[in-house]
Structure 1
């Protein structure tokens, strides 16, 4: 995933691409961005090219987590986002040593466990911002983040805008047309 631009794409848990955006969603982002924000459209187009390039290269790779391990770890992560997660705990879910798990996780999901967890937490925060009236401080805690400042710092790094600005923009846009939750990008 690229650092620049904001996307309105959802995570895909497809075995070949891990926590990446779907091609159809990225195409929609490009189309929508051409009208609203050409810079965001360009960023979505770059992510689309990256997705298509990486998905072809990943098909011939070996290693990584077995499908049952990947499902089990992902399910555990999604259930436990509200609290601190340790690498040892995740490795235990896959019945692997910590070092082997970290390498296999990156091979399977395309990113480090820390980055993947951060992306899931931000995705949950976005969903809560759109579906509840909770203050950002409560949303941050519900997503396993230390406080509102932590949420704001990560959100700005991944999406290029503050959570309150994103919430305002998307609640306004949602009143006009339904939108999907943005997929976080990996900061560089």
Structure 2
């Protein structure tokens, strides 16, 4: 791991602020620190293919992640997923922070290792409490880089690995069972499947065959199933089922439609099939789920 190895973000080249940053880098993790307070200019935004974790050292108000505004305070951490535009609408002065930037491929691989059932690789983009163990690891990385001893690179690589595991352990969340939807942001190998993901989201109530889905990506069925599972850690059919179940939960909560009609509208061809799949995923029948969560 080395310092100031040429890694840059767009803010580093804005208003000649590169001298205000210190960077500690290894192959899959970059730690970027503001060496002195900086100014975030009016309308500044950035977008890149890293997983980013913003740790404010001074208050950062109305920070934008896509169309969501987040107030960030010291003692918090804000995850930003690959491909999410983020920045500020209004100029902010005297801002200090730490950024953790992590290779998307390395992070998605780790998520699969830790959570074998993961089918989405998206962190919640909101301000969360900064855990003391993560804060301690960052401090150790900074200190080891500042005063390197024997075995420095090995130790820092191990610290970086541990940091990734703790970020996933504390902040990664499977899509919520009450509100699952195919993610807007696709990472790693996933963007190649955007046509079929969009089709699933729009046509989940229809009968969709593997042949139809493969054709949308210009692949044969065998290659489509194999590469889809590698990218999403689940089969195309299971992914589609999760979309159907997410919409079924919403209808059960928000409407008075019969159980059979909810199932039919969400692509399940019989009430018995809908109930069986729902119970296998949620551990309760659709009727029981409605009684516990209905808004009427």
Query: TM (normalized to structure 2)?
Result: 0.39
Q: CA RMSD in A?
A: 3.4
What displacement does 1:19 show?
Answer: 3.3
Aligned match of 2:46: none
5+ long unaligned stretches in structure 1? 1-11, 29-47, 53-62, 176-188
Shift in CA distance, 51/141, structure 1 to aligned 2, threshold 3 Å: farther
The match for 1:19 among 107, 119, 124 is 119
* 1:161 match: secondary structure: coil
**What is the distance in 1 between the residues matched to 2:250 and 2:199?**
19
The match for 2:259 among 120, 125, 136 is 136
Which structure has greater strand proportion?
2
What displacement does 1:73 show?
Answer: 1.0
Query: TM (normalized to structure 1)?
Result: 0.59
Name the larger-Rg structure.
Answer: 2
Which structure has greater helix proportion?
1
**What is the distance in 1 between the residues matched to 2:169 and 2:232?**
18
Task: Say whether 1:92 aligns with 2:192.
Answer: no
The match for 2:237 among 114, 119, 139 is 114
What displacement does 1:170 show?
Answer: 0.9
**What is the distance in 2 between the residues matched to 1:107 and 1:80?**
23
5+ long unaligned stretches in structure 2? 1-80, 84-103, 112-117, 129-167, 173-187
Task: Say whether 1:163 aligns with 2:263.
Answer: no
**What is the distance in 2 between the residues matched to 1:50 and 1:72?**
32
Flag as ranges the 4+ runs of structure 1 deviating above 2 A.
14-25, 48-52
Of structures 1 and 2, the one scoring higher in RCO (CA 8 A, sep 6+) is 1
How big is each residue's C-alpha offset from its partner over 1:99-120, in whole Å with a ceiling of 9 and x where there is no partner?
1111111111110011111111
Aligned match of 1:149: 272
